[in-house]
Structure 1
Amino acid sequence: MADHSSHHHDTESGVIAEPQTKAIWKTFVILSVLTAFEFLIAFTLHHGFLKTSIFVLMTIVKAFYIVGEFMHLKHEVKSLIWAIVLPCIFVVWLLLALLMEGGFVFIAR
């Protein structure tokens, strides 16, 4: 039988894990830059398809970055990532198709 008394957990020996402040600041800076870019677009471009497309694209980029960082999906296997991403893409496509068709019905009458 192995002697387990020599094995200590890090918290038992008084060693505290080093904080991940560098990663937190990196995430903060990246999300801040993306948000600043969104504000720039919001106040400089006129309303229209281009502005809406940029906002949708930036929202998707920020969402994937947040999911990758805070849900740790960027460290997972690629098949798990695609199992999450593909259904989301199809749901977005479905929503766009429904909105476009719904708008067409109102315009046609």
Structure 2
Amino acid sequence: MAHAQEHTSHTALIWKVFGILSFITIVEVALGIWKPDFLHLTNFLGTSILNILFLVLTLVKAYYITWFFMHMADEKKNLRRAVVWTAVFLIAYLGTLMLIEGSYINDVLGPLTKW
């Protein structure tokens, strides 16, 4: 007779992750609507602190989605690292590149274009 596998409910974990992702999304939307001047008008690393904050919050959301909903927590350590860190570095690189290039285009075309 086969061994009976014990299945545990992950309902509490799913609700916890849902709460974390919802909180991060609410913070992002609130900051996008409110746009505080001390975050929006302060330049840091070529862009506003608000843009950097959005990038960091998006990376945190991507990590949670990958870790829990793509079941990376149950995989072997090396596979987890390969998938998660590749995604994190790729998203960080692409986000940084978009912020730098967008700032450059705004600086060059801004005086020539009515936005």
With the length of structure 2 as denominator, give the TM-score of the two structures. 0.61
The answer for the alignment partner of 1:94 in structure 2 is 97
Shift of 1:31: 1.8
The answer for the alignment partner of 1:65 in structure 2 is 64
Answering whether residue 11 of structure 2 is matched by residue 21 of structure 1, we say yes
Stretches of 4+ moved more than 6 A in 1? Answer: none
Shift of 1:29: 1.9
Read off the aligned partner of 1:59 and give its amino acid letter: T
How many Å separate the matches in 2 of 1:92 and 1:108? 25
Deviations 1:81-109 (A, max 9, x none): 32332232222222222212211221465
Shift of 1:42: 4.1
Shift of 1:18: 3.4
Ranges in structure 1 where 5+ consecutive residues have no aligned partner: 1-5
Distance 1:107 1:35, change over 3 A: closer
How many Å separate the matches in 1 of 2:7 and 2:98? 45
CA contact (8 A) 2:24 2:61 kept: yes
With the length of structure 1 as denominator, give the TM-score of the two structures. 0.63
CA contact (8 A) 2:55 2:92 kept: no
The answer for the alignment partner of 2:2 in structure 1 is 7
Shift of 1:35: 2.8
Identity of aligned residues (%): 26
CA contact (8 A) 2:66 2:72 kept: yes
Q: RMSD of the TM alignment (CA)?
A: 2.9
Alignment map for 1:66-85 (pairs within 5 Å): 66-74=65-73, 75=75, 76-77=77-78, 78-85=81-88
**Higher Rg:** 1
The SS at the match of 2:63 is: helix
How many Å separate the matches in 2 of 1:35 and 1:87? 21
